[in-house]
């Protein structure tokens, strides 16, 4: 997930799978989403027991790698290693970013969630993160309620070369507003709460 000099400037889709999904049930829907929307990366949330996460990792990896799509998992370095994932998305601070980089090596993807903190984003980039994620950008009812403002993405896109991801509480208006200053949009809960997730993603991602 690194920018190339001649890459298009349009942001790319970064898909977050549903928490606790069973691979056998979710697999066919994921296959359809990959065919229709071609995300740049898929992230597996870290909640769940080891066996379920392992099954999910195997299923997502098998589908995604056919399409040359990267797969990361929240925080679980060992699961990423055992199941052949491309890396991890760290939610637990800068020291864990450094540790993940040491454990996984230079070729793995290490991303970092930095909430709405410019300082944490810069620290994560200096610690070896391949991308940083800021959010939520819209109201979600989760966390402290502090939003990552558009000004943060604007500053980052002008000053920092490390790619940036916008996530949390996304809607079509926010995607339109942030598109010129964001490299990736991480979409997950916004569509899984809907009766027809594929239709919901179509409305958000045109």
- Please report the domains of the chain, with CATH numbers, ordered by start residue: 12-204 (3.20.20.70)
Share of the chain above pLDDT 90, in %: 89
Is the predicted pLDDT of residue 190 greater than 70, yes or no?
yes
Which tokens belong to 150? 């558009």
24-36 burial, b if ≥16 CB within 10 A, otherwise e? eebbeebeebbee
Is the predicted pLDDT of residue 9 greater than 80, yes or no?
no
Confidence band for 145, pLDDT divided at 50, 70 and 90? confident
Q: Average pLDDT of 125-153?
A: 91
Confidence band for 142, pLDDT divided at 50, 70 and 90? low
Is the predicted pLDDT of residue 3 greater than 70, yes or no?
no
E strands along the chain, which residues?
A: 12-16, 41-44, 70-74, 87-90, 109-113, 131-134, 164-167, 184-187
pLDDT at 1: 52
In DSSP terms, 111 is beta-bridged to 89, 131
- Segment 28-77, tens digit of pLDDT: 999 999 999 999 999 999 998 999 999 999 999 999 999 999 999 999 99
- Segment 104-115, tens digit of pLDDT: 999 999 999 999
Q: Average pLDDT of 136-149?
A: 85
Handedness of CA 84, 90, 92, 96 (dihedral sign): positive
Name 61's Cβ contacts closer than 8 Å, sequence gap at least 6: 71, 83, 84, 85
pLDDT at 6: 42
- Say what the pTM is: 0.93
């Amino acid at each position: 997930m690194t920018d190339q000099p001649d890459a298009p400037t349009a942001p790319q889709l970064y898909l977050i799978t549903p928490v606790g999904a069973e691979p056998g049930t979710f697999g066919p829907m994921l296959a359809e989403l990959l065919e229709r929307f071609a995300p740049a990366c898929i992230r597996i949330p870290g909640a769940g027991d080891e066996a379920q996460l392992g099954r999910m990792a195997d299923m997502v990896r098998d589908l995604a790698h056919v399409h040359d799509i990267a797969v990361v998992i929240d925080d679980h370095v060992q699961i990423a290693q055992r199941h052949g994932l491309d890396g991890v998305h760290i939610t637990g601070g800068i020291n864990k970013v450094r540790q993940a980089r040491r454990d996984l090596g230079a070729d793995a993807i290490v991303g970092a969630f930095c909430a709405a903190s410019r300082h944490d984003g810069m620290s994560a980039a200096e610690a070896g993160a391949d991308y940083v994620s800021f959010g939520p950008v819209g109201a979600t009812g989760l966390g402290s309620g502090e939003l990552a403002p558009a000004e943060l993405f604007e500053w980052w896109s002008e000053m920092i070369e490390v790619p940036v991801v916008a996530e949390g509480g996304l809607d079509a208006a926010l995607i339109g507003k942030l598109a010129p200053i964001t490299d990736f949009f991480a979409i997950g809960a916004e569509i899984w709460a809907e009766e027809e997730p594929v239709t919901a993603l179509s409305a958000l991602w045109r």
